Structure 1
Amino acid sequence: MSETTHDGAVAMSAPPSPDDGLSSAELATKYGLSVSGARPGLGEYVRQLWGRRHFIAAFASAKTTAQYSQAKLGQIWQVMTPLLNATVYFLIFGLLLNTRDGVPDFVPFLVTGVFIFTFTQSSVLAGTRSISGNLGLVRALHFPRASLPIAFCLMQLQQLVLSMGVLVVIVLAFGVPIALSWLLVVPALVLQFVFNAGLALIMARLGSKTPDLAQLMPFILRTWMYASGVMYSIEEILKDVEVPQFVEWMLEVNPAAVYIDLVRFALIDSFTADQLPSHIWAMAVGWAVVMGVGGFVYFWKAEERYGRG
């Protein structure tokens, strides 16, 4: 097409485009464009996360190595820290408050509780800071953000495996025999890892917008520890103290207590099945599924908002 200008020259005008009249959204759809940083579908997100599995493992291992790189004893502190905590709890609760009464093999009982609860405690604390404490990485690179809290939980699992070797030595030193029930530790810890990862994902999303939450969490986790039978037997306490039925029920279904009791049952022969809440394996699986799936979906729903503003 042509038209004449005011000076008599002939100018060519562009032919009409088939895209004329289309909105921005319609143009994006037509040419397969998408919003930068948009949240992928849940199935696609899972596939992306699986594709980063090697990064998650390498990140967890690097963090584990770097955590104690400035300390002279290095990674020995991974074991020394919970052992020192267990020693303090033994002095205060076992000796001064005498909670060891009625609890055979109290030292293995106590150390198991401290190690297993520390696994959950450390996973939650690390998860809370996983996004807010790694904003440079989040803003610089494109990857599924769930990789970070999951990697930090994997890091805590690696530390727990080392601690479990020490726990086995302690259990044997106090005369507890090796038994086939020790194999139950594996499914118990797998379920606890899934539970921890789900809870860490929830806390990662909350902590990404409220960094002060990381300062509050140690107090919340300490309260949770005191209600989880780490330093005492919940069964023995309930024998001596009258509590409302719903309080007894809450103590029994407490997920931290559930996973602690499962590992104690697996490792300590004097901790028998009649000391376990009924349907404890069902509770362990239920907590893992509900928290694992629920936490993952909750975190995924805010995927495009992490690291912004």
Structure 2
Amino acid sequence: MSQVLDTPPAPAPFPPRGTDAEDPAVLAARYGLTVSGARPSLPAYVRRLWQRRHFITAFATAKLTSQYSQAKLGQVWQVATPLLNAAVYFFIFGVLMGTSRGVPDYIPFLVTGVFVWTFTQSSVMAGTKAISGSLGLVRALHFPRASLPVSYCLQQLQQLLFSMCALVVILLCFGVPPTASWLLVVPALLLQFVFNTGVAMIMARLGAHTPDIAQLMPFLLRTWMYVSGVMWSLTHLTEGKGFPPIVITLLQTNPAAVYIDLMRFALIDSFTADQLPAHVWAWAVGWALLAGVGGFIYFWKAEETYGRG
């Protein structure tokens, strides 16, 4: 009994190099394929980000809710944390170092500065880890990566609004009456939110490619806090000390100081207009546009690199 073995067919010859059959661009065009994760145009990117607005809001709210879910006091820490920071700063700077001398309504002055500064500090820190800390989400789903730093900044804005309720109580307890100027809080916070988001996007791109930046940021932010007048009045600090005019201008017009001063001017009647730098609203709008627009474009230019490697 014999067994017949079939001869396997000869393999098809490879197409010669340079033909359309092996050209990826031609094949992609023929079958309507596009590059996965390719960066869209800037207008298209803005439209896609707007389409994800519900995701951004829900993500920010969920992060805020879960932030203190393991703590016994839960969401009370949203208000207690900045209040405890203000109490520590009051003891060290207001009592021991005497920076409260000559500053009317020092406790409302200090608490306002701490709350507003915490908003910027937390937004920048969260933005630094927005991409590097969410690599699983970035690699699993396709969405505009700017959604992450925007949602983290929105989370910090929501937390600030909780803290503002405590701030209003403090202002009333220390005899600061509500006035029409309190309405200025709304444009001041919106401008600060745009500024914070822009800086967070810059830091998100840097942190995505250089994770060590997250370790450096606390030192840079602490230095920024000290030169922004959180615990003391920059006007009293520089008055009669012989500082060059350029140094005084740089201190008073740095963005954190601008937004802190605007909030103090809006909420505290003893913080008068003569303590504000010249053209303070122009500075606030300028910083918001520079950081917001510039940071958004800077982040968008590296869209297709996030989560790679």
Q: How many angstroms does 1:252 deviate by? A: 1.5
Distance between the aligned counterparts of 1:122 and 1:128, measured in 2?
A: 10
Identity within the alignment, %: 71
- 2:215 is equivalent to residue 219 of structure 1: no
Q: What does residue 142 of structure 2 align with?
A: 142
Deviates more, 1:31-40 or 1:167-176: 31-40
Q: What does residue 153 of structure 2 align with?
A: 153
Give, as a single letter, the amino acid of the residue that structure 2 aligns with 1:178: P
Q: How many angstroms does 1:193 deviate by? A: 0.2
- 2:55 is equivalent to residue 51 of structure 1: no
Q: How many angstroms does 1:33 deviate by? A: 3.0
Distance between the aligned counterparts of 1:222 and 1:185, measured in 2?
A: 25
Give, as a single letter, the amino acid of the residue that structure 2 aligns with 1:261: D
Q: What does residue 173 of structure 2 align with?
A: 173
Q: How many angstroms does 1:183 deviate by? A: 0.3
Q: What does residue 284 of structure 1 align with?
A: 284
Q: What does residue 75 of structure 1 align with?
A: 75
Q: What does residue 239 of structure 1 align with?
A: 239
Deviations 1:85-122 (A, max 9, x none): 10011011111111111110000000000000000000
Structure 2 residues without counterparts, runs of 5 or longer: 1-18
RMSD: 1.3
Distance between the aligned counterparts of 2:242 and 2:113, measured in 1?
A: 24
Distance between the aligned counterparts of 1:242 and 1:163, measured in 2?
A: 38
Structure 1 residues without counterparts, runs of 5 or longer: 1-18
Q: What does residue 16 of structure 2 align with?
A: none
Q: What does residue 301 of structure 2 align with?
A: 301
Q: What does residue 5 of structure 1 align with?
A: none
Q: Is the 8 A contact 2:79 2:163 kept in 1?
A: yes
Distance between the aligned counterparts of 2:308 and 2:211, measured in 1?
A: 14
Q: How many angstroms does 1:31 deviate by? A: 5.2
Deviations 1:186-225 (A, max 9, x none): 0000000000000000000000111111111111100000
Q: What does residue 198 of structure 1 align with?
A: 198
- 2:56 is equivalent to residue 38 of structure 1: no
Distance between the aligned counterparts of 1:242 and 1:99, measured in 2?
A: 19
Distance between the aligned counterparts of 1:195 and 1:55, measured in 2?
A: 22
Distance between the aligned counterparts of 1:146 and 1:42, measured in 2?
A: 12
Q: What does residue 15 of structure 1 align with?
A: none
Q: How many angstroms does 1:249 deviate by? A: 1.3
Specify whether residues 20 and 93 from structure 1 end up closer, same or farther in structure 2 by C-alpha distance, changes over 3 A only. Answer: closer
Matches within 5 A, 1:4-19: none
Deviations 1:252-289 (A, max 9, x none): 11000000000000000000111100100000000000
Aligned length: 291
- 2:100 is equivalent to residue 100 of structure 1: yes
TM, length-normalised to structure 1: 0.92
Q: What does residue 12 of structure 1 align with?
A: none
Q: What does residue 89 of structure 1 align with?
A: 89
Q: What does residue 7 of structure 1 align with?
A: none
Q: How many angstroms does 1:242 deviate by? A: 1.5
Give, as a single letter, the amino acid of the residue that structure 2 aligns with 1:240: G
Q: What does residue 128 of structure 1 align with?
A: 128
Q: What does residue 10 of structure 2 align with?
A: none
- 2:233 is equivalent to residue 253 of structure 1: no
Distance between the aligned counterparts of 1:21 and 1:114, measured in 2?
A: 65
TM, length-normalised to structure 2: 0.92
Distance between the aligned counterparts of 1:232 and 1:140, measured in 2?
A: 47
